[in-house]
Amino acid sequence: MKNLKYYLQKAYKEGWAIGQFNFSDFSELKAIVNSAVSLKSPIVLGTSEGESGFIGLEEAVLMRNLLRKKTGLPIFLNLDHGKSFEYLKKAIDEGYDMVHFDGSKLPLEENIKISKEVVKYAKWTLLRRGFGGQEGVLVEGEVGRIGTDASRIYQEKFEIKEEFLTKPEEAVEYVKKTSLRQGFGRQAGVDVLAVSVGTFHGIDAMGESPHIRLDRLKEIREKINIPMVLHGGSGTPENDIKESIKLGIVKININTEIRKAFAERLLQDLQKGEIVPYKFLPGAMEAVSKVVEDEIRLFGSENKA
């Protein structure tokens, strides 16, 4: 099976994006994977520190392995918004395909320092695991604050403050200073960069969806040479998503929409008095599958597996 780096580069060249769908239990996970199977799409499964703390890092890896084997699909696992080197190290050791270090609340220097440690550890995994077809672990960096909370449906109109947007010159500095020299003159560094360009985590219940600052995205793209990641994809206007993919976004993270679909449908079905999990869960799973299918079509990753 081709690795995640292959698919990210393919997406970058061909102008589509891979969806990252977060989960915290097996029924959500199965629902996400079912959609990927029916649309023959590569996918990234995401777990935050909270989600992986609940489900277990080792368990998440074993479930990825099982689903890869059963479906034959390129299914990858990313540790989303890791806040410390120690936690990311654990995820790398357990066998995650990628880790995202979120140092966006730290001063840039500090963010760079820890990111570089993560890159070093992730890339050396290649040596630790042996060369038997294994690849190093990929790293997602972040500059600029995306902020807010994916567990919330905002009742107020929400806008990202100008000062939280990724500054192109900081992105350049980050990419440059987190890269390492490997043997044979090869460079290694963060593989993808999460940028703050107007989207936020969570959904705005007013329906005032966040617009993507395409002008800012374009400026960043012109200055750095690595693909980018869009967080807070839930609820973003479709046209903005399509335009952002043309400007170098290769991965789009969806979390709140999945949580919302799952919880709302579950609540409805439980209110009918059903107490058997395998009878009240399929409805919620169907709701999740629907969200994932729509996103896969929008991102253009259908039939790319």
**Interacting residues with Zn ion (CB under 5 A):** 231
Of the pair 49, 293, the CB lying nearest Zn ion is at: 49
Angle (CA) 74 114 216, round 5°:
70
Distance of closest approach, residue 83 Cβ to Zn ion, in angstroms: 12
User: Which run of H or of E encompasses 98?
Assistant: strand 98-101
Distance of closest approach, residue 296 Cβ to Zn ion, in angstroms: 19
The owner of tokens 């890092």 is 57
The secondary structure of residue 185, as a DSSP letter, is G
CA distances from 212 to 118, 226, 232 (A): 29, 19, 10
Is 228 in contact with 192 (CB distance < 8 Å)? yes
Of the pair 167, 231, the CB lying nearest Zn ion is at: 231
Catalytic residue chosen out of the listed positions 80, 97, 102, 191? 80
Q: Quick one: which of 56, 55, 75 has its CA closest to 65? A: 75
Task: Take residue 59 and report the two structure tokens written for it.
Answer: 């368990």
Whole-number Å distance between alpha carbons of 101 and 231: 13
Q: Quick one: which of 72, 62, 13, 14 has its CA closest to 42? A: 72
CB-based closest residue to Zn ion = 231
Distance of closest approach, residue 118 Cβ to Zn ion, in angstroms: 16
Residue 80 a catalytic site member: yes
Helices (H) and strands (E) in the chain, counts: 11, 12
Of the pair 254, 285, the CB lying nearest Zn ion is at: 254
Task: Take residue 252 and report the two structure tokens written for it.
Answer: 């789009």
Distance of closest approach, residue 193 Cβ to Zn ion, in angstroms: 13
Of the pair 142, 293, the CB lying nearest Zn ion is at: 142
Of the pair 231, 304, the CB lying nearest Zn ion is at: 231
Distance of closest approach, residue 182 Cβ to Zn ion, in angstroms: 29
3-class secondary structure, 148: strand
Whole-number Å distance between alpha carbons of 252 and 157: 22
Distance of closest approach, residue 8 Cβ to Zn ion, in angstroms: 17
Whole-number Å distance between alpha carbons of 167 and 195: 9
Is 75 in contact with 95 (CB distance < 8 Å)? no
- Which sequence positions are flagged as catalytic? 80
